[in-house]
Structure 1
Amino acid sequence: MPPRYRYEEIADDLQQRIKAGEFPPGSRLPSRREMIARYEVTEPVIDRAMQILRIKEITETLPGVGVFVRDDPGA
């Protein structure tokens, strides 16, 4: 199995936490600053992880407001 990028691991972790109900539909994910501290990575790494979740239609971003779990994550 090839090595995984840190942003992929973070996206997978967040996706699992969403599926487990830690972040239910409609809830706001932690801020970029909070995620940088939690995962001990740089801002571009968090941005890539958020991009993956957005592409998978798990989250949606409201500029200036935050990142939210979609009402139908992954549908």
Structure 2
Amino acid sequence: MPPRYRYEQIADDLAARIASGEFPPGSKLPSRRELIKHYEVTEPVIDRAMQVLRIKGMTETLPGVGVFVAE
């Protein structure tokens, strides 16, 4: 099995946290800055992980407000 990119690992972790109810539908995810600090990665890595969750339909982004778990 090929190694996975860090953004994929982060997206999977956040997806699991959403599925477990840690972030219920309608809740706001931590800020980009908080996620960068938590996962110890750069901004583009978090942006790519957020893109994966958005494509999967798990999150919705409100510009200037934040990223929310899809209802």
TM-score range, shorter chain: over 0.9
TM-score after normalising by structure 2: 1.00
Unaligned stretches of 5+ residues in structure 1 = none
CA RMSD of superposed structures (Å): 0.2
Aligned partners of 1:30 and 1:4: how far apart in 2? 23
Aligned partners of 1:39 and 1:8: how far apart in 2? 12
In the TM superposition, what is the alpha-carbon distance from 1:26 to its structure 2 partner?
A: 0.1
Aligned partners of 1:23 and 1:38: how far apart in 2? 16
**Following TM superposition, where does structure 1 have runs of at least 4 consecutive aligned residues deviating by more than 6 angstroms?**
none
1:16 aligned partner = 16
Unaligned stretches of 5+ residues in structure 2 = none
Identity of aligned residues (%): 80
TM-score after normalising by structure 1: 0.94
- The count of corresponding residues between Structure 1 and Structure 2 is 71
